[in-house]
């Protein structure tokens, strides 16, 4: 039970660390750059990411507590996509490397997709819990592309 709790909170903790180091740039650099007209207000991102990180954590805990020959691969893919998620914030917000952030988010999208495929082999519910994350990162990919293009 405690293991499931820790696994559920792991993505949220990773997101908090990332936001701690990059949040200053949101109120300074990010507000001054050109963005897509579809860019949501800044206050939307925190609640959306909190829900997505919790859903990711629940999905991870479901997979981690199952027995399956695909479990290890699923967990490795999850770790890879979470690492890419973490890195994107630094590329984009901290270092302002917009082209690299765009390439990296495309790679992130691919790893989320592969994670969903392998999670589905272990737990269908875990895979479904990651679909909103994939959709949000699809939208974030568009937003990243537009920032890169406009700046």
pLDDT tens digits along 87-142 = 999 999 999 999 999 999 999 999 999 999 999 999 999 999 999 999 999 999 99
Q: What is the pLDDT of residue 91?
A: 97
For residue 143, pLDDT over 90 is answered with yes
The DSSP-derived string for 19-71 is HHHHHHHHHTTGGGS---TTPPPHHHHHHHHHHHHHHHHHHHHHHHTS--TTH
Domain count, the chain: 1
**Interatomic CA distance for residues 87 and 118, integer angstroms:** 22
- Mean residue pLDDT across the chain: 96
H-run or E-run covering 1 = none
Q: What is the pLDDT of residue 3?
A: 84
Question: 83-114 burial, b if ≥16 CB within 10 A, otherwise e?
Answer: ebbbbbbbbbbeeeebeebbebbeebbebbeb
pTM: 0.96
- The first and second tokens of residue 151, run together, are 């700046």
The CATH number of whichever domain residue 24 belongs to comes to 1.20.1260.100
Q: Which long-range contacts (CB under 8 A, 24 or more apart) does 123-129 make?
A: 123/59, 123/62, 123/63, 123/66, 125/59, 125/62, 126/58, 126/59, 126/60, 126/62, 126/63, 127/59, 129/55, 129/56, 129/58, 129/59, 129/62
Nearest alpha carbon to residue 91 among 75, 113, 107: 107
Structural domain that includes position 141: 2-150
């Amino acid at each position: 039970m405690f293991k499931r709790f820790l696994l559920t909170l792991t993505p949220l903790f990773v997101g908090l660390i990332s936001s701690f180091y990059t949040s200053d740039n949101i109120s300074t650099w990010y507000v001054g750059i050109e963005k897509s007209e579809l860019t949501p207000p800044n206050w939307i991102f925190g609640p959306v990411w909190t829900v997505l990180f919790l859903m990711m954590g629940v999905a991870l805990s479901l997979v981690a507590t199952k027995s399956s020959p695909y479990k290890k691969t699923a967990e490795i893919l999850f770790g890879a996509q979470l690492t890419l998620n973490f890195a994107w914030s630094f590329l984009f917000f901290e270092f302002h490397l917009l082209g690299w952030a765009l390439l990296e988010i495309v790679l992130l999208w691919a790893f989320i997709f592969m994670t969903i495929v392998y999670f589905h082999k272990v737990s269908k519910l875990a895979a479904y819990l990651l679909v909103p994350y994939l959709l949000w990162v699809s939208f974030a990919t568009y937003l990243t592309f537009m920032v890169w293009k406009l700046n």
